[in-house]
Structure 1
Amino acid sequence: MRPTRWTHGFPAIVKATAATSPKIEKLGEEISGLTLEEARGLVDWLQDKLGVSAASFAPAIAVPGVAGGAADASAAPVVEEKTEFDVVIEEVPSNVRIATIKVVRALTNLALKEAKDLIEGLPKKFREGISKEEAEDAKKQLEAVGAKISIV
């Protein structure tokens, strides 16, 4: 287990290992005491000195403000994967209305009147902000009874 200490108002994880030399510990302490502007200057200086770019070592999702202007503009933007989905009931044929209402009630725990109101005046969002698995499951159940569904 790594002990925790507080630095600049935020918890910092301190890794206590026998392999860490006093020189590295001292340097680490000095770096952790830098202001954001000083850290940016250090990054720029190291990039010039070593001939490398911090962007090449950055994780896919960078912490905003840490690298400042260090990443060059030609870098591709990070595309975040969508994690929340909405299920939209597009159409319910009249011959499957009752079956669709039953599935809607089972998936949402709505009362009969609310479930009936939900499938009138389509298209309507049926579920919002759910996981991809939940959205796919709801779509599969509703399409099995004959409703037309889309996931956005």
Structure 2
Amino acid sequence: MKIEDLLFNISNLNLIELAKLVSEIEKKFNLNKTINNDTLEKKFFNVYLKNVGDKKISIIKIIKEITNLSLKESKDLVEKKDSLIKKNITKKECEDISLKISNLGGLVEIK
């Protein structure tokens, strides 16, 4: 049987028959359809500054500390809308940054 014929026959199955076929193929070829949540969980994140709040100078100082940028670069980053603070960092680092900035009235977004 050619692949085209096989696909044609599969396309003529109803939904119940198709589900049974998939199940039988999984059994026959020992395929595990369950996916471990660890493989789906994102490992690295980016942190964006969404809102500075009232304590802009304090936020600039924290950004300078977090990013190791110069004072001017930190100020420019704070004044730019939705600026990337740090990229490809762990969830723990994101939470630490978020806590520092939110304690000063700022708002971050973790993606």
* TMscore range, shorter length: 0.5 to 0.7
Cα distance between partner residues in 2 of 1:110 and 1:121:
15
Q: Of 30, 33, 45, which aligns to 1:85?
A: 45
* Structure 1 residues not aligned, in runs of 5+: 1-50, 57-74
How does 1:43-54 map onto structure 2 within 5 Å?
Answer: 53-54=29-30
What per-residue deviation string (whole Å, max 9, x for no partner) do you get for residues 13-66 of structure 1? xxxxxxxxxxxxxxxxxxxxxxxxxxxxxxxxxxxxxx764224xxxxxxxxxx
Question: How far did 1:77 drift?
Answer: 5.8
- Higher relative contact order, structure no. (Cα contacts within 8 Å, ≥ 6 residues apart): 2
Q: Which amino acid aligns with 1:109?
A: N
Cα distance between partner residues in 2 of 1:138 and 1:90:
13
- The 3-state SS of whatever aligns with 1:103 is helix
Length-normalised TM-score, structure 2: 0.67
- The 3-state SS of whatever aligns with 1:54 is coil
- The 3-state SS of whatever aligns with 2:85 is strand
Q: Of 90, 93, 100, which aligns to 2:59?
A: 100
Equivalent residue, structure 2, for 1:126:
85
Equivalent residue, structure 1, for 2:109:
150
- The 3-state SS of whatever aligns with 1:83 is coil
Q: Which amino acid aligns with 2:102?
A: E
Q: What is the number of equivalent residue pairs in this alignment?
A: 84
Cα distance between partner residues in 1 of 2:95 and 2:31:
37
In proportion to residue count, which structure has more helix? 2
Cα RMSD (Å): 2.2
Length-normalised TM-score, structure 1: 0.50
Equivalent residue, structure 1, for 2:31:
55
Cα distance between partner residues in 1 of 2:64 and 2:35:
42
- The 3-state SS of whatever aligns with 1:146 is coil
- The 3-state SS of whatever aligns with 1:119 is helix
Greater Rg over alpha carbons, structure: 1
Question: How far did 1:124 drift?
Answer: 1.2
Q: Of 64, 69, 77, which aligns to 1:110?
A: 69
